[in-house]
Amino acid sequence: MSIMESVGNKSRRARRSFTPEFKAEIVELCRRGDRSIGQVAKDFGLVETRVRDWVLSARSGHLW
């Protein structure tokens, strides 16, 4: 295995899946306004853009 292959493999994350209940709880934390979306994402080890997508989906009524 080359150095580039080993570096590439280390940088990939396993894709995680989340239950609809977990997503709803995260969205509710964001809606409360105590913390920013970025802070909620950081607190739970999530990617901020994913959390933003969940919040936008919940606003438009498209649930998971």
Q: Tell me what pLDDT residue 64 has.
A: 67
Distance CA 40, CA 8 (A): 29
Instruction: Give pLDDT tens digits along the chain (64 positions).
Output: 555 555 555 667 788 999 999 999 999 999 999 999 999 999 999 999 999 999 999 999 877 6
- What is the pTM (predicted TM-score) of this model? 0.75
Distance CA 28, CA 16 (A): 20
